[in-house]
Amino acid sequence: MAITLTETAAQRVEKFLAHRGKGIGLRLGVKTTGCSGMAYTLEFVDELLPEDTSFESHGVKVIVDPKSLVYIDGTELDFTKEGLNEGFKFNNPNVKDECGCGESFTV
């Protein structure tokens, strides 16, 4: 399994990284907080940790720590628009249930 980005998402990530002027890639992860168990995190990466797993998708380096990987393996990260709002969206095959807002989930 792996973590992938859609082409749109990859383009956005590249643009944000270029604007930021530093960083080696994008970190996807989960935190055990939130109204329904777990929550996604999405961060820039400046430093690769020894335990990290990294993937390459459309030229972007995607980095995940081992604890998070079990919850999000197989995820495709997309960038979409909903009305005036736009942002990244996790298409995670492991999810059984989400809270109404979709910010947290259970597996």
Partner 1 sequence: MALLQISEPGMSPAPHQHKLAVGIDLGTTNSLVATVKSGMSTVLHDEQGHALLPSVVRYLEDQVIVGHEAQAAQSADPINTIVSVKRFMGRALHDITDRAHIPYQFVENAASAGMLELSTRAGLKSPVEISADILKTLKLRAEKALGGELTGAVITVPAYFDDAQRQATKDAARLAGIHVLRLLNEPTAAAVAYGLDNAAEGVYVIYDLGGGTFDISILKLSQGVFEVLATNGDSALGGDDFDHRIYCWLIDQVRSKNADFQPLNEQDTRLLLTKARQAKEWLTDNHEANIVCKLSTGALVDETLSVAEFVRFTEHLVNKTLSPTRKAMRDAGLTIDDIKGVVLVGGATRMPHIRHAVQAHFQQEPLTNLDPDKVVALGAAIQANVLAGNRSGDDILLLDVTPLSLGLETMGGLVEKVIPRNSTLPIARAQDFTTYKDGQTAMAIHVVQGERELVSDCRSLARFELRGIPPMVAGAARIRVTFQVDADGLLSVSAREQASGVEAAITVKPSYGLHEDQITQMLKDSYGAAESDKQARMLREAVVDAQRLIEAIHVALAQAGDQLLSADERSLITQHIDTLTQLCAGTDHHAIHQASDALNHATEPFAARRMDASVQQALAGKNLDSLEL
Hey, what are 101's tokens?
Answer: 């807002």
**Which lies closer to partner 1 via its Cβ, residue 7 or residue 41?**
41
- Cβ atoms within 10 Å of 48's Cβ, excluding its own: 13
Hey, what are 18's tokens?
Answer: 């270029």
- Out of 1, 11, 73, 80, name the contact with partner 1 by CB under 8 A: 80
| Subset of 9-68 contacting partner 1 (CB under 8 A) | 12-13, 15-16, 19-20, 26-27, 29, 31, 33-35, 39-47
d(CA 2, CA 80): 21
Smallest separation (angstroms) from partner 1 to the CB of 42: 5
- Window of 53-61, 66-74, 94-102 that interacts with partner 1 by CB under 8 A: 94-102
- Counting Cα atoms < 13 Å in the Cβ hemisphere of 69 gives 14
Is 96 a binder of partner 1 (CB under 8 A)?
Answer: no
Which parts of this chain interact with partner 1 (CB under 8 A)? 12-13, 15-16, 19-20, 26-27, 29, 31, 33-35, 39-47, 80, 82-90, 98-99, 101-104
